[in-house]
Amino acid sequence: MHIRKATIDDAPASFAVRRAAILAQCGDHYPMEDLVTWTSGAMSTAFAQRVAGHFHVAVVENEVVGTGMLDLTTAKIDAIFVLPGYMGQGVGRALMDHLEAIARDAGLAQIELEATLNAAPFYRKLGFEGDGRSVYHSSLGVSLACVPMSKRLGC
């Protein structure tokens, strides 16, 4: 596996990874009808541009198996998704380590994210803190409970 900066050509695969990961992992924490709505529709131009601008991808044998986004302007991590067949194999951790290194190199003292309820334990294992709740409002009209979290980087 290697991790690299995403290109616009990675957008369709990134969209597919996102959809598969959400449907595979979030079902015990959110109503399935919300997950289906959240993952419905075609990939937008805005999503493709965000992939090209901020995403990094984990690749195995020329296949995108994981995604992660870091916005250095907001110090926010987002879109950490792994294909179900690669979950539990260190892909998510490797993506997070990669993004944290970029954040440190950029001089960020802290990074933030909004975790889905199912992902909060994963982020806690990586040193993120946060137990509160907020609501994520998707562009497709779904509102989902999430956990705002942050991590000091010790730059």
Is 115 domain-assigned? no
pLDDT digits (tens, 9 = 90+) for 106-137: 999 999 999 999 999 999 999 999 989 999 87
- pLDDT at position 118: 94
Question: At residue 116, what are phi and psi to the nearest 5 degrees?
Answer: -65, 160
Q: Which residue has the higher pLDDT, 155 or 130?
A: 130
Number of structural domains found in the chain: 1
Task: Choose the weakest-confidence range: 14-23, 28-37, 68-77, 83-92.
Answer: 28-37
DSSP letter assigned to residue 129: B
Domain limits for position 85: 2-108
pLDDT digits (tens, 9 = 90+) for 136-147: 877 777 889 999
Measure Cα distances from 34 to 25, 31, 63, 134, 138 in Å. 13, 5, 28, 17, 10
Is 139 domain-assigned? no
Is 155 domain-assigned? no
pLDDT tops 70 at residue 155: no
Is 89 domain-assigned? yes
Is 116 domain-assigned? no
CATH code of the domain in which 41 resides: 3.40.630.30
Task: Choose the weakest-confidence range: 32-36, 47-51, 102-106.
Answer: 32-36
Is 94 domain-assigned? yes
- pLDDT at position 148: 97
- pLDDT at position 115: 96
Half-sphere exposure of 61 (CA within 13 A, CB side): 1
Measure Cα distances from 47 to 7, 8, 11, 13 in Å. 12, 10, 7, 12
CA-wise closest residue to 57 among 26, 16, 85, 24 = 16
Is 26 domain-assigned? yes
- Tokens in use for 59? 């690749």
Is 131 domain-assigned? no
CA dihedral 10, 16, 22, 23 (to 10 degrees): -170
